[in-house]
Chain A
Amino acid sequence: MFCEKAIELIKELHRMGDGQLPAFNEEGIRQVLEEMKALYQQNQSDVNEAKCEGRSELIPTIKFRHGCLFRNQRCIAAYLYDRLLRIRALRWEYGSVLPTAIRFHMCAEELQWFNQYKKSLATYMRSLGGEEGLDITQDVKPPKSLYIEVRCLKDHGEFEIDDGTVILLKKNSQHFLPRWKCEQLIRQGVLEHVVS
């Protein structure tokens, strides 16, 4: 049956769940495109035959293939679009620099799109809140206090805070830091918010 490869792509995304990004399935996409090309060529020759020799009994077959073509197109579009949505979510979760493991899962065009998205988001954030701009990825939950108690979950190296002091984020050390500085690190799982 036609279109089985295309649905495989969709299922692959569906299996991952939770918005994780599987490796870009270039082989799968290529196979679907090839199937579409074959379908198109067969249809083209059948259309010519139907027109020139008046063989109208071919029309259902042509329609059948045409439906398959559309189906493939739809599946590929859905695959690419869903991946874009997941990549966009990554910008909000990880910040502007992605871990290399994830970057390996993206194709060249997706990386390009990610960079463009980053740029537009940055431009937008600069335009907000007067001179300095406003980081809208911060304070997604309304803050209760300016400083929070955090514990390091892994060695992260040196970290500079507003007043210029440099602290060393070592595994299992505990610090009292300005909230907006560590929010992203918490999201990335480097720090843990300690509530007493």
Chain B
Amino acid sequence: MDTNSLPCRTETAFPRLGFLEKSSDTRHIPEGTKMEMPLWLAKGLYERKRRVLSVELPKVYREGWRTVFSADPTVVDLHKMGPYYYGLGSQLLHFHNPENPEIAQAVLQTFIGRFRRTMDAAQNAYNEDTSALVEPLDSLERALFKVGQNGLNAFQRWETGRASHLTASSLVLNYRKRKITDL
């Protein structure tokens, strides 16, 4: 998530770093250059008092997309948009953008709107191919889905009386699988 790049505009010059900007041949990055910066760097350089750079919003957090999300959050493929829609969205709030309250609301409402479906899917897809269900989920939702599935499977095992069944550790099994493919 940290490596997601954000569109930025430099507000001061960065001497001697010109080689980072491939589009120009100067030795320095002049003031007012538009460039992409990873989140971690933007966060490190950003200061409220001394304007070093300003961060623009990625397009999924802008007004236009926000309307789409508020219309029906369940139909959007967040994996394609993100895949760290929620994480990045909350990190963006560091950058004192005037639209901050709206972004926060949009991210929260999207999550609320989609959560029920994620939970339903996780709790009811037993012994099924879940790839189609998982595909449009954000990475946070995927983690939740996995937790839900583990719970469901453990419960089913308990119900069928197989909870005390000893099995080989999945770690060991995976290693063995790899060894076969290695050969």
Contact = CB atoms under 8 A, between A and B. Distances in A.
A56 to B, nearest CB: 10
A187 B40 contact: no
B41 interface: yes
B179 interface: yes
Contacts of A102: 175
B23 interface: no
B13 A60 contact: yes
A20 B175 contact: yes
Interface in A144-195: 144, 148, 183, 186-189, 192-193, 195
A46 B14 CA distance: 12
Interface stretch (A28-36, A61-69, A119-127): A61-69
Contacts of B167: 186, 193
Interface residues of A, number: 39
Nearest to A99: B175
Chain B interface size band reads 20 to 34
B15 A70 contact: no
Interface string B135-158: 000000000000000000000000
Contact of A195 (B44, B165, B168, B175): B165
A76 interface: no
A148 B176 CA distance: 25
Contact of B172 (A3, A183, A188): A188
Nearest to A19: B171
Interface in A60-112: 60-61, 63-64, 66-68, 70-71, 89-90, 93-94, 99, 101-102
A18 B16 contact: no
A187 B13 contact: no
A19 to B, nearest CB: 6
Contact of A68 (B13, B41, B52): B41
Contact of A141 (B15, B166, B178, B179): B166
A54 interface: no
Contact of B166 (A67, A89, A186): A186
A7 interface: yes
Nearest to A140: B166
A1 interface: yes
Given A102-B175, A187-B172, A188-B168, A67 B20 contact: no
9 contacts: A1-B38, A46-B16, A58-B15, A63-B44, A64-B41, A70-B44, A71-B40, A102-B175, A187-B169
Given A3-B38, A141-B164, 4 more contacts: A60-B52, A61-B16, A63-B44, A186-B167
Interface of B: 3, 12-17, 20, 38, 40-41, 44-45, 52, 162-176, 178-179
Interface of A: 1, 3, 7, 18-20, 42, 46, 57-58, 60-61, 63-64, 66-68, 70-71, 89-90, 93-94, 99, 101-102, 141-144, 148, 183, 186-189, 192-193, 195
